Chain A
Amino acid sequence: MTATEQLHEPWPDLDRQREGYRLGMWLFLASEVLLFGGLFATYVIQRYRFPVEFALAARETAPAYGVANTAILLLSSCAVASAERLTEAGRRRAAGAGLWIACVLGVAFLVVKGFEYADDLSRGLLPGPSFVGTPIEMSFWAFYWTATGMHAIHLVIGVGLLGRVAWRRIPTPSLRARALYWHFVDVVWIFLFPALYLVGRG
């Protein structure tokens, strides 16, 4: 497709190489679906069993942070998807810019999350002896910290993966695999957002 794409071992041709990277990453992502899925299962059960208390606990989250971070992640995914298409069109400089924009947005997400965590801590929303609320409310917040924490770790890894290709400016097929990972982290957040911020409102 482009002159910049190199064929690596053990692939016989570029088409197989692309397919191999894509399939490998999707297989890994399917395991990630189940990793986050296990967490979501605890959420579904608790919300089913204790709808009222769960809604009360969820009302303590700060939706402004959630909306801002959702928009940031959607923008970053758009930047990565654009970078991928620009790379294929041979526009390496523009593609590099797209990847850097995505990295900056990823860091911005983490900064917003940091402010939100500080806010949550100051209001006694960390599960433990100092938690303000019932054990069931605490189980919502246990989900909140575990899920967002695990998501944040994925985001840090994603920034590293994208930063590396942006830094070295090598439009390899691995860019597509890295992009898939980034979009997946976005998909996880798309489901976390309503589960955490939109319950028990209005």
Chain B
Amino acid sequence: MKAADASWLEIICPPLVALGLLLILLATTTSYAFLPGAAWKPAAALGIAGLKAAIVMLTFMRLQKASATVRLVAISGFAWLALLLTLSWLDYATRLS
């Protein structure tokens, strides 16, 4: 029975470690945003969000062990998104008045 319990924990150990990291990042990003006068707040918030998303996608969504085809499809969605955001923003950034 004891051996069975140990392996039960062993099975869910990777998701639990990921969860711990994600909660630490949540606490970090929230406290940094409320820190008076801290620099680069938008970049920090976006960077930590990206890190959290990467942890979820690599461990929970198992992209780490996925095939090349699946990874390609997953990355392409975000590549189109990057194009959409960059080009929309460039339009406004380059307007003269």
Contact = CB atoms under 8 A, between A and B. Distances in A.
Interface of A: 19, 22-23, 26-27, 29-34, 37-38, 40-41, 44-45, 48-49, 63, 67, 70-71, 74-75, 77-78, 80-82, 85-86, 89, 91, 94, 98, 179-180, 183-184, 186-187, 190-191, 193-194, 198-199, 201-202
Contacts of B88: 41, 44-45
Nearest to A198: B33
Interface in B29-43: 29-30, 33-38, 41-42
10 interchain residue pairs of minimum CB distance: A30-B77, A198-B33, A194-B45, A33-B77, A82-B12, A81-B15, A78-B19, A37-B81, A81-B60, A202-B34
B56 A194 contact: no
Interface residues of B, number: 50
A26 B70 contact: yes
Contacts of B7: 89
A176 to B, nearest CB: 8
Interface string B1-33: 000000110011011101100110010011001
